[in-house]
Every structure is written in C-alpha cells, then in structure tokens.
Amino acid sequence: MAAERAGSGGGRSRKVAKKRDHDFVTGTSYAPAPESSAQVKIAKSYDLFIGGKWVKGSKRMKTINPATEKVLSEVAVAGPKEVDLAVKAARKAYNNVWKKMPGRERGKYLFRVARLLQERAREFAVLESMDGGKPIRESRDVDLPLVAAHFFYHAGWADKLDYAFPGRKPQSLGVAGQVIPWNFPLLMAAWKLAPALACGNTVVLKPAETTPLTALLLAQVFEEAGLPDGVVNIVTGAGATGQALVEHPGVDKIAFTGSTGVGKMIQRALAKSGKKHTLELGGKAAHLIFDDAPINQAVEGIVNGIFFNQGHVCCAGSRLLVQEGVADLVIRKLKRRMETLVVGDPLDKNTDVGAINSKEQLGRIKGLVAAGEKEGACSWQSGQRLPGKGYWFKPTIFTDCAQSHRVVQEEIFGPVLAIQTFRTPEEGIEKANNTPYGLSGGVWTDKGSKIFKVTSAMRAGVLWANTYNKFDPTSPFGGYKESGVGREGGLHGLAAYLEI
C-alpha cells in the first residue's frame, strides 16, 4: 500500500510549521523557552574515576550533542588494564571498608548523595539533555526526581536488610560490574548503584559511549559526599570496555541494561562463570485499547508512551492494538495530537520530542521504517519541519500492519508506532503476546474486571492500566522472555544484590 505522508504534502501540518522560523521549528506555536546551560561546566576532557582518583585511559573518544552535532567533550576509553585497575580498587574498598561498615553508616552516604543530587538537579538535567538529546522536560521532571528517589529509597533499606528478608542473614556479594545504556543514562546508573551500595557491594560502572557525561558528574557528587575511595569506580568506553568488565574474573555480579542482542552475548559469556547476573533488555510493548476506554486519555497515554523522549524507552508502547469499533476514531485523534507535538531543541521547555541519540540509532530507525514500508504497512508522519543539524525523526505511525511485519516484531527504539486492530479480548491478548519480548504493556478500558482479566493473561513484567510509563523505586521492574532476567527495584531488586 502506498505510504501516505503529511510531512511532505499535508496542507495542515505545513501551515502550522510555517508559524515558526527559529532554528528549531515545531508543530505548535509556543515562544521558545530554552533552559540556560550556563550553570553546566563541561570540561574539555574527562579521565576514568578509579579508586577515588582520576586516571588516564588508553585512548580518548568524543561525546557530542546529538541536537547540534557539536563535540561536548572527550572522555577516556578504558582498556582491559584500566578495567582491571577499577575491579581491584573496588575489591580493596569492599574488603577494607564497605563490607565492614554498618548498614546505617552506608545509608548515611546514600542519603547524602540523594540530597546532593537534588541540590544539583538542574545542572544534571541540562547536561543529560545536552549529551543525550532528550527533552529537558523529561530529564528535569522525570529522570532527576526518580534518580534522587532511588538513592533515598535504598538509603532507607541499608540498615534494614534483615527485616527485608525475615529469618535470613542477607550477605553482600562483593564487586558488581554494571553496564548501562544511553536512553536514561543517569537514571540507569541510579537504578544500579543505589541497591548495590545499600546492600554492601562495591561497583565498577560502565556508562554508554554516547552518554558518559552525567555518570562522570555523578562521580564528582560521590567525591563531594565523601564516599570512601574505590566504592564506586566509573570506566568509560564502548562495547569492548563493557566486555572486559563482564569477563573480568574479579567481578561477582553483572548487572546489564541494554539490547537483547548484547544481553544474549553477555549471558553466553557468563555461562559457567558462577557470576550472578541480571539482564534488563529490549521490549515491544503493546497498548490494548478497548471500545469502552476513555479515548482522549488513551491517546495521550499512547503519545506519552512512544513519542515523548523519541521512543527511546525500553518499555515504550511501540505497538497499538485497538478494538475495531473505535479504531478510526483513535487513529484520527492520534494523528491530530501528533501534529501538535513540539519537535526540536531538547533544552526548550516546550519540546516533546527531542533529538535521536546518535547517527547510528537514526540509521537503525530509518532502516526499520523502510522495511515496514517495503513489507506493505502504511506509514504516516506528522508534519513538523525538522532542524537542519543534528539527528531527528518525525513521529511516525504504521497502519495495516500484519503480525509478521518487522515493525510489529522488532524493537525500533524510535518514535514509531505500529497499529493493529482486534475484535475480542482474546484476539487482542494473543496479538499482544505474539513477539519475542515481554517487558511491558498498557490496557485502556472502563471496566476493572477487564483490566484484571487482560493483564493476568499478558506476558509482560510491567503492566499499566489507564495510564502509562509510571515508575517508582519500590516497585520491581523487569521482563519475561527475551526482555531479560531478574528484576530491579523493590525487594526483588535488593535480592539481586544479596546472598540470602
């Protein structure tokens, strides 16, 4: 079926876009409201944070602002030698200090870190948006509050682990190697560091190669909080650095968040190693909208779930299954809402859809969208004009999708939604479950009984009803099937860092 594109020919969207003439043109006409980056001091280069000192790496790599393609800084690349140094520093800190420290003292450090993060939240949020391309509204209103909440929550557990698991004597594991992705750089660091430290482990953390800066700023917060040397070590670099950490014999536990492909490689590398591991991997979440759903609320939930933050969310609602009777209405309202999305400058407080994180990721999104068109699904894009520099992709939907289409089965990790219809709850559930993933999903209906029936049949680790993308440190998060192994957050997340 021929692709229908409002972006290149849609009259309404072009008229809306013409109202703006500054660099970042958007879908609606708000005056620009950019957040100042004056308080963010980015150094020309950064070293590795090992044993409480800043250590040179074997090479250097550039990190850029994906909205402007300007180089922000150069960071060190840790080779096997530096990874070894970091693991040894973590072991020393574990044996000499952290393992022996009473939980209430460990908790004090975590409380201090949480408070410092709150004090410096604006600086962190701006840096996150500059390095990763995500809208400031998200880094300021979602990421940073959750980052602080994770440290506060786990600080509270540090001296209560015996009560968390009554009748057991929970013991720390030792050195944790943690490898994280670029979509929530600081939040993923907090998800991993806070429980590991609260449980008495020391850590070597490897941030993603495209977003290392907030983790390095976090190292400065650890210094400011007086955290003993070597308790947290931060090694920057790409896949080879992560691999060296995963394979290091001095590491007791691996916590990985990233793609299913790399997760499978890590699982193979860890087989027979005896290392504990948790893997938080990709997803292909489905929203199920029933004909009795609050439609406007559901449309807003879908937009939030896939277009805000450019679809760079593991639990992004990248599939929409809508009951046949309301399908036309939902798609019409969805298109209208898509036209009003503000696409552009991540530092502008009006922005809904920021920059794609990297050129490589943009290439992956374009490749999968082209595959969807080739396989016969019908694509439609909203009409915003995109900035000339940087990496951008317009909010896109596919209709007339078959279950076998790649846009239905594969994680795109961009602002692209595949839409299908269903007649009965059973058909909807079957379609929702029919992918290799099982991370998350959403159900939209007026009936509580239907929510219980449908969510208990959906094979996904996290399910929301009449809302979407809500997180809390007390609640476990993780997937079924190829979406991962283990849980993070809540008691389940604590257990993953303990021998109980």
- Given the rule CB under 6 A, which residues bind ligand NAD? 179-183, 206, 208-209, 238-239, 242-243, 246, 257-259, 262, 265-266, 280-283, 314, 411, 413, 439, 479, 484
Minimum Å gap between C-beta 265 and ligand NAD is 5
Phi, psi angle pair for 461, to nearest 5°: -70, -35
Kindly state the DSSP code that residue 95 receives in the 8-state scheme.
I
State the catalytic residue, choosing from 314, 315, 401, 410.
314
Minimum Å gap between C-beta 432 and ligand NAD is 17
Give the span between the Cα atoms of 223 and 240, in whole angstroms.
Answer: 27
Minimum Å gap between C-beta 38 and ligand NAD is 30
Q: Which is nearer to ligand NAD, 135 or 263 (CB)?
A: 263
Minimum Å gap between C-beta 179 and ligand NAD is 5
Alpha carbons within 13 angstroms on the beta-carbon side of residue 259 total: 13
Give the span between the Cα atoms of 376 and 454, in whole angstroms.
Answer: 30
Q: What sign does the CA torsion over 257, 37, 304, 149 have?
A: positive
The torsion of the CA quartet 322, 327, 331, 333, rounded to 10 degrees, works out to: -100
Tell me the DSSP string of 322-353: EEHHHHHHHHHHHHHHHHT--BS-TTBTT-SB
Q: What is the CA radius of gyration of the chain?
A: 23
Q: Which is nearer to ligand NAD, 322 or 432 (CB)?
A: 432
Active site residue 199: no
CB 321 within 8 A of CB 420: yes
Run of H or E including 69: none
Strands 53-55 and 59-65: unpaired
Judge residue 163's burial from the number of C-beta atoms within 10 Å of its C-beta, 0-12 exposed, 13-18 middle, 19 or more buried: exposed
Q: Which is nearer to ligand NAD, 273 or 424 (CB)?
A: 273
Kindly state the DSSP code that residue 403 receives in the 8-state scheme.
T
Q: Which is nearer to ligand NAD, 364 or 453 (CB)?
A: 364
Q: Which is nearer to ligand NAD, 282 or 490 (CB)?
A: 282
Minimum Å gap between C-beta 364 and ligand NAD is 9
Q: In 29-152, at which residue ranges do the beta strands (DSSP E only) sit?
A: 45-46, 48-50, 53-55, 59-65, 70-77
Cβ neighbours, 10 Å, residue 294? 14
State the catalytic residue, choosing from 35, 280, 410, 488.
280
Report angle CA 392, 464, 426 to the nearest 5 degrees: 105
Minimum Å gap between C-beta 475 and ligand NAD is 13
Minimum Å gap between C-beta 225 and ligand NAD is 24
Active site residue 314: yes
Run of H or E including 160: none
Q: Which is nearer to ligand NAD, 97 or 265 (CB)?
A: 265
Q: Give the CB-nearest residue to ligand NAD.
A: 242
Q: Which is nearer to ligand NAD, 44 or 268 (CB)?
A: 268
> Catalytic residue positions?
280, 314
